[in-house]
Amino acid sequence: MGILLLFIILIFEIASAVYCIVTKQNHRKIKNYIRISTFITFVILTLSSVIVWGLQWVMLGTLLLLLALKATVSLIRNKENKKYKTSKIVWKSIVMIVVTVFVLAPAIVFPQYKSPKVTGEYKVATATYTYTDKNRMEEFTDKEQYRFVNVGFWYPKNGNGTYPLLVFSHGAYGIKDSNSSTYTELASHGYVVVSIDHPYHSFYTRSEDGIVTMINSDFRKEFENKNKGVYSNEEEYYLIQKWMKLRTDDMNFVIDTILTKVKSDNDPIFQHINTEKIGVFGHSMGGAASVWLGRTRDDVSAVVNIDAPFFSELVYNKADDNFIASSKTYTTPLFNIYSDDVWRQLDSVPVYVANKLNNKQLEGAYTTHFKGAKHLSLTDLQLFSPILANMLHGGKPNINPYYCIEKENELILKFFDYELKGIGHFNPKKTY
């Protein structure tokens, strides 16, 4: 919609300028009527939900309102047209085109899109909280303060039973809403989903008091340098341990906090949680942390790894300066979903040595490859901002974004249904 409107406005401005130049007149009255009509049309489209009002439309709406008010005043005053000047017509058109591109940029970068299918019987409610861990001090700030995490819940509205708890961890630079379509689909089928913002690892996070915390620059540089191959294997291994400790500590803290609240808090969210049925899942670094929890927590009964290496299953062999896979059998039910970006690395990149399909210690795991998908195709970003996702990918995925996310949601639901609720069978195809 943003690109369409930009195209229409650009055509109008260019055609208007050409018409004025050819006729050697300003045609101010005609322009005024058109600008008033444009604003009225924008309002009608918004009220009829053709344009879904949101922050991305604020600047355009403001510009059209100001232009309509100016046009109205001009028509009321009904002054004679100023002397025609070609240079002035051209200059005004250039300015208007630049301003239009600027005010429409948010709508182009973050276009309105239809939400992926929600197939469950329950309506979904949401809630957000900030939890403070008084057993940990924050390591990313010079101030003495306790570590905090912000969490979002997606749960069955007006539920009348107890439901399994699913805990999600986002990737590096991610946010807790990164896979909100997945949480909504799961909650609609009778799950309580909690997604964690990992402060200073997330791109940004907002606490209950309104304070916004941005990604830590040191962490960002570490992650970028790792992807560039700056570090030795030994240095990379210890970075991984540091990152995973923070992530798994956050996840353990959130799970333990929820388990405590189930016993003592009358909030309906917690009273609808079945503490005997817990699953964890995550994307990228969050997927690695989820696999780690499946290894270390006895109460985690199912794990979904979305496009992540098995950091918990890596051992650094100092004698050979290389990574090897752990010799310990992984017993928690595990479902792996891979994009092309990770799939092509399984047999060649050292940190994926434990992910190899012939790893005997994980031979019971389910594994699926989404052919044509890129790393962020497995998040909602490909829907929320295709331009941004494609820039980060370095190209456009060769898979329909709605097919990708809806099939992913369907498979994750079936896996958790099978492992946590004993519903149906789970036998995913190797490739979608």
Q: Are residues 131 and 105 in the same domain?
A: no
Contacts of 394 (CB under 8 A, 6+ apart): none
Question: Each residue of 301-332: b (16+ CB within 10 Å) or e?
Answer: bbbbbbbbbbbbbbebeeeeeebebbeeebeb
CA dihedral 75, 78, 84, 86 (to 10 degrees): -10
Of the three residues 81, 109, 137, the one that is the final residue of a domain is: 109
Residues 273 and 132 in one domain: yes
Q: Quick one: 229 and 345 in the same domain?
A: yes
Residue 117 forms part of a structural domain: no
Residue 193 maps to a domain: yes
- Asked if residue 430 belongs to a domain, the reply is no
Are 85 and 147 within one domain? Answer: no
**112 close to 51: Cβ distance less than 8 angstroms:** yes
Contact 106, 176 (CB under 8 A): no
Do 369 and 340 belong together in one domain? yes
- 64 shares a domain with 153: no
Last residue of a domain, one of 77, 109, 141: 109
The pLDDT score that the predictor gives to residue 81 is 61
CA distances 160 to 23, 122, 155, 266, 271, Å, are: 72, 11, 12, 14, 10
Token representation of residue 255: 């799970």
Query: Which pLDDT score is estimated for 5?
Result: 81
Any idea what the Cα angle at residue 268 is, between residues 262 and 269, rounded to 5°?
A: 65
How far is residue 432 CA from its own chain's centroid? 22
Residue 116 is assigned to a structural domain of this protein: no
Q: What residues in the chain have per-residue pLDDT under 50?
A: none
The structure tokens 């456009």 sit at 396
For residue 10, give the H/E element and its range: helix 2-23
The rounded percent of the chain whose pLDDT value lies above 70 is 99
Q: Evaluate whether residue 293 is within a structural domain.
A: yes
- From 82, 109, 136, the end of a domain falls on 109
Tell me the torsion sign for CA atoms 355, 359, 365, 368: positive
Residue 294 in any domain: the answer is yes
C-beta of residue 282 within 8 angstroms of C-beta of residue 288: yes
Question: Looking at residue 80, what is its pLDDT?
Answer: 62
The structure tokens listed for 10 are 């650009």
* pLDDT score recorded for residue 306: 98
Same domain, 324 and 205: yes
Say whether both 253 and 398 belong to one domain: yes
Q: Considering the domain boundaries, does residue 233 fall inside one?
A: yes
Q: Are residues 199 and 303 in the same domain?
A: yes
pLDDT at position 374 is: 97
pLDDT tens for residues 233-286? 999 999 999 999 999 999 999 999 999 999 998 888 999 999 999 999 999 999
Q: Is residue 20 part of a domain?
A: yes
- In this predicted structure, what is the pLDDT of residue 93? 87
CA distance 69 to 89: 21
pLDDT for the residue numbered 353: 96
Q: Taking phi first (over 0 means left), then psi (-120 to 50 degrees means alpha), and beta for anything else, what does residue 359 get?
A: beta
Radius of gyration of the chain (CA): 26
Q: Are 67 and 134 within one domain?
A: no
Give the C-alpha separation, 46 to 41, whole Å: 9
User: Do residues 73 and 173 both lie within one domain?
Assistant: no
Residue with tokens 């964890």: 280
Cα–Cα distance measured from residue 414 to residue 423, given in angstroms and rounded to the nearest whole number: 8
Q: Is the pTM of this model over 0.95?
A: no
**Same domain, yes or no: 181 and 43:** no
Helix 86-109 and helix 386-393: axis angle, to 10°? Answer: 80
**Number of domains present in the structure of the chain:** 2
- Helix and strand counts by DSSP (H, E) for the chain: 13, 12
CATH number of the domain enclosing 298? 3.40.50.1820
Distances (CA, A) of 53 to 38, 107, 113, 184, 324: 16, 10, 12, 21, 52
Q: Which of 35, 270, 312 is nearest to 159 (CA)?
A: 270
Quote the pLDDT of residue 277: 97
Range of the domain at 225: 124-421
